Structure 1
Amino acid sequence: MRSPPRLITLILLTGLSTVSLNMFVPALPAIAAELGTSYATVSLAIAGYLAVTAVAQVVMGPLADRFGRRPVMLGALALYVLASAGVALAGNVGGFLGWRMPMAAITAGWVVTLAVVRDTAAPGRAAAIMSTITGAMALAPLIGPLLGGVVAQVLGWRAIFGLYAALGTALLLLCWHDFGETRQAAPREPLWHSARRLLGDRGFWAFASCTALSTGCFYGYIAGFPAISEARFGLGEAATGVALGAITGGFMAGAFLSARWAERLGLTRMMLAGRICAVTGLAGGLLWALAIGPLSATGVVASVLFIGLGNGLTMPSANAGATAAVEGLAGSASGLLGALTVAVGAVVTAGIGALVAASPTPVALLSALLALAIGALWAAWAAHRQG
């Protein structure tokens, strides 16, 4: 089967990859209570899952280059369905966590999608397609927890994992009929030679660093704002949730613009435009706080909206550039790119969380985010110079 998957199939795969992380989060207290363990222990279903996801991406990328996109995607979906059913039937916390970790196989939905888009489109067109995919999948972090909360309240937490299994089964059947092989030819060189070529390519690292640091800005805001919201602004949970969701709105607007401009303007110009946008918004908010007076919650959110807008402009092009950096290694590149992004996100989340715990002020948060945004701008400039 050689016909490439349709765009809607790729969107659904990336969407399931996203909601698999967060849809069950509202049910964590109920899970801990039923399984007779602590909240901290069941929270490993998030932190441990992210760690396994990073490793899985590094492995799945080269497998997709070696054996093809279709078998890796179908195998990953089958494992995901089995693991989801295992979690739904788990009788203790060991079974819960033991089956939860293999659910990370669904990360193939993102890794293989990047490779497929690179296989079937030139870099500029690939960036436009990725803008459409990422713009649509940005809804997943908003819808996932809401849906999970409703399902858990009505049917219980096990129904969430039953729903994961059902969705995975539906996508497995869809991909069986609509996921043709797009890899042109298997690499002839040994796997470690391919890895060495990728790891030694400066262009790949410039594009990948831009993606990772740009995503780090997003994670940093998510990790840092709730502490400031409570300590400085006295916002409730609902208002804090709205403030956190605002960055997603900015991202969707940026992705919408990127889908229309990326092919015409080129990858690195789009990346630079997005990074300048993010730096300008954060620098403006920080200068206001330092020179004029304390920022309100609205002022902080207004500054951070520029992160979302900038990421929407930048990341589709940066992703397309990273997967196109070394010919024939799109799968390996997408896997390493995903793992690097997760790793940087974990470090940034921990670092900014500790920073705002010690100094819960808008100045501390915006300063840290601005440093990350400047790093991403530098990486975008490096990619532009090499291109």
Structure 2
Amino acid sequence: MTPADTFGTDDRIARKPMLVTLMVASSISPLAINIFIPSMATIADALGTDGPTVGLGLSLYLVAVAVLQIVAGPLSDRFGRRPVIIGGMVLFLAGTALCLFAETIGWFLAGRIIQAASATGIALSRAIVRDVYSRQRSAAMIGYVTMGLAVAPMIGPAIGGFMDTLLGWRSVFWLLMALGIVTLAFVIVDLNETNPNLGAPFTRQLSGYGKLLSEPSFWIYAGAGSFITASFFGFLGGATFVSVELLGLSPAEYGIWFILCPLGYAIGNFVTGRISERVGIKRMMVMGSSLTLVSTLIVLVPILFGYLSALTLFGPMILLGIGNGMTLPSATAGGVSVRTEAAGAAAGLLGSSQIGLGAVASSIAAAFAVGPHAATSLALVMLVPAGIALVFSLVAPRVSEE
């Protein structure tokens, strides 16, 4: 049975959105995060500024995404998933236009912040899945939907660098504009409203956060998802220094080796989609977080024995990616099911906590992964959150299909 076939069963509403619609809606934001990174030096020259200032286009985007996901959830619980995603995509197009025609760094950064509105697709595609599927099946469907979150970062820098070389940095944003229009068309044509609790006052929806935060099970699911994400972001924060300064890899070689991690994530998502309904959310979380922890130990052990190579650093990342791809969809499915009347708020809070803790881990890794002990520091920054994620997974409640 294909993913599409699976997605079309277990009806709970009149018509579900196509799987591809949710995949596209959840992919545009992660693609926009890093597709411009190879062009940062070019943008700095064109706009008369320096690299760190252009780099704010990444950090400000991530901050905006974290904040937006907190707001998008309650908004979608009040006004509906469909209008909030459509509004986010319209804002994304407006922000992309600002970047396209920016002549100063200020306008460019403003455009990047507005572009972050596309993150509504990440949070709400998960809430939509929970709207239309039972708890156990939603883990499988979220696994399929979030494959785009792995594929987009994997191909984004390569596409961006290629287009910048051939057509200039603004061509990257023309591509984002075109993809944004396609995404908006998919959502308008295919996405019905799925929120079963539409119309409650906004203040009541905001109170959903208080209810969620008072639920120990929500903290468990959020903790597992956030710390498993932090392990991956820790690698992102320090691996560049280790690979370039200690291993002597070129940026191109780093990019090739890095593909192993998102490739593993896609595999983990696929495995989740295939077996999570039979295995169950808790066991998927335990297996995924265990695999992630093992991958960090495989990185650390050779370093402790004085051996470091590209293979020992990047090879285990395919296991880390698989572990993330198994844990995240399951933890998300559990988290948005704690209180189904506040699924949108839960999805937003989960996404925000994952990105927020990931950003912290990335900053810590960047700060400590320097000097002769950089590789050891990097491995420890990855290992600690992976271990914490396993603890959260082990104490997660067992749930039956609902």
SS at match of 2:341: coil
User: Where does residue 237 of structure 1 map in the other structure?
Assistant: 251
**Is it true that 1:176 corresponds to 2:178 in the alignment?**
no
**What count of residue pairs does the alignment treat as equivalent?**
386
Aligned to 1:218: 232
Give the equivalent residue in structure 1 for 2:215: 201
Alignment-derived partner of residue 315 in structure 1: 328
Determine the C-alpha separation between the residues in 1 that align with 2:312 and 2:27.
31
Structure 2 residue matching 1:325: 3-state secondary structure: coil
Partner residue, 1:370: 383
Could you tell me whether the CA contact under 8 Å between 2:24 and 2:148 is conserved in 1? Answer: no
Contact 1:286/1:366 (<8 A) preserved:
yes
The 3-state SS of whatever aligns with 1:5 is coil
Contact 1:27–1:148 (CA under 8 A) maintained in structure 2: yes
Query: Offset of 1:107 from its aligned partner?
Result: 0.1
SS in structure 2 at match of 1:32: helix
Separation (CA, whole Å) in 1 of partners of 2:18 and 2:393: 30
Give the C-alpha shift of residue 339 in structure 1.
0.9
The one-letter amino acid of 1:27's match is S
**4+ runs deviating over 6 angstroms:** none
For 2:41, the aligned partner's letter is P
Percentage identity across paired residues of the two chains: 34
Distance apart, 1:386 and its partner CA: 8.2
**Cα distance change of structure 1 residues 38 and 379 upon mapping to structure 2, 3 Å threshold:** same
Segment drifting more, 336-345 vs 252-261: 252-261
Letter in 1 for 2:213: L
TM (normalized to structure 1)?
0.94
Give unmatched runs, 5+ long, in structure 1: none
For residue 72 of structure 1, the aligned residue among 64, 84, 105 is 84
How far apart are the structure 2 equivalents of 1:91 and 1:281?
A: 45
RMSD: 2.0
Distance 1:161 1:302 in 2: 33
Aligned mates of 1:64, 1:18 — CA distance in 2: 20
Match of 2:300? Answer: 286
| Corresponding position: 1:153 with 2:165 | yes
Task: Please give the alpha-carbon distance, in whole angstroms, between the structure 2 residues aligned to 1:60 and 1:279.
Answer: 32
**Residue 5 to residue 213, structure 1, CA distance change in 2 (3 Å):** same
Greater Cα offset, 302-311 or 324-333: 302-311
1:134 and 2:146 correspond: yes
* Secondary structure class of the residue paired with 1:91: coil
Q: 1:355 aligns with which of 368, 372, 384?
A: 368
Pick closer, same or farther for the CA change 1:372–1:70 going to 2, 3 Å.
same
Does residue 382 of structure 1 match 2:382? no
- Give how far 1:266 is off: 0.4
152 and 99 in structure 1: CA distance in 2 versus 1, 3 angstrom threshold: same
- Partner of 1:329: helix, strand, or coil? helix
Q: CA deviation at 1:92?
A: 1.4
- Alpha-carbon separation, structure 2, partners of 1:234 and 1:37: 28
Residue deviations 1:212-236 (CA, integer Å, cap 9, x gap): 1111111111221222223332222
Aligned to 1:344: 357
Structure 2 residue runs of 5 or longer lacking an equivalent are: 1-12
2:130 and 2:303 map into 1 onto residues whose CA distance is: 43
With over 3 angstroms needed to count, the CA separation of the structure-2 counterparts of 1:270 and 1:94, relative to structure 1, is same
